[in-house]
Amino acid sequence: MDNTALFKLGYGLYVLSAKDGEKDNGCIINTMIQTTQNPLTAVIALNKQNFTHDMIMKTGKFNISVLTQEAPFEVYTHFGFQSGKTVDKVTGYENIARSDNGIIYVPKFTNAYFSLDVTDKKDLGTHTLFIANIVDAVKLSDVESVTYSYYQSNVKPKKPAPEKGKTVWRCKICGYEYVGEELPADFICPICKHGASDFEKIVG
Ligand code: FE
């Protein structure tokens, strides 16, 4: 089996947001799929380590903001590379608005947002699959949606190759570099929290 075949799958990038009492939070996901038209439903798969995961388990409600090609790297670092468990990503952040369900969405660098109510869920081990009704849909602009491959090629900062003879393991999500010949199998990126399988070996 060639796992690099998985890189040929296409994905968008979205800010997933939820609200639990007075607590707001949002994170970046690449798994939002419209599944049926009538009724209008969608699924998302969400890593259980995300703070937003526990909020949605509890409230059954979330918003999805669709990021565009104009979204700068800062939007990804803000929502994706820090945890709502330790950082308040919402208070004082300028690119935030609130939809009719009371949950935040991202009004800038996005072209649409959706409000969803969870109808079912499936435990997938590391992730939960949430099945949800789309209860509101708002178009914000006609700027093209960003794809994961566009993010990799055009948004994520380019890093120079390591010095000759040195080996680094570079996180494909955020660019963090681990210096060493072997990357521990249980290594977790300290910036974006992705695992060892999201690192590539680069030899200088
Ligand atoms: Fe990372």
Question: Model confidence over 106-129: pLDDT tens digits?
Answer: 999 999 999 999 999 999 999 999
The arrangement of secondary structure in 3-151, i.e. its CATH architecture, is Roll (2.30)
Output the CA 105–ligand 1 centroid distance in Å: 24
Output the CA 3–ligand 1 centroid distance in Å: 19
- Share the mean pLDDT of the chain: 95
Output the CA 151–ligand 1 centroid distance in Å: 14
Output the CA 176–ligand 1 centroid distance in Å: 5
- Which residues are close to ligand 1, an ion, with C-beta < 5 A? 171, 173-174, 176, 189, 191-192
Task: Please give the Cα distance from 158 to 54 (Å, whole number).
Answer: 34
pLDDT digits (tens, 9 = 90+) for 173-204: 899 999 999 999 999 999 888 899 999 999 98
CA 50 to the chain's CA centroid: 10
Output the CA 76–ligand 1 centroid distance in Å: 11
> What CATH fold (topology level) applies to the domain 159-203?
Rubrerythrin, domain 2 (2.20.28)
DSSP assignment of the chain = --GGGGGGS--B-EEEEEEETTEEEEEEES-EEEEETTTTEEEEEEETTSHHHHHHHHH-EEEEEEEBTT--HHHHHHHHSS-TTT--SSTT-SS-EE-TTS-EE--SSEEEEEEEEEEEEEE-SSEEEEEEEEEEEEE---SPBPBHHHIIIIISPP-PPPPTT-EEEEETTT--EEESSS--TT-B-TTT--BGGGEEEEE-
pLDDT digits (tens, 9 = 90+) for 120-154: 999 999 999 999 999 999 999 999 999 999 999 99
Domain boundary assignment for the chain = 3-151, 159-203
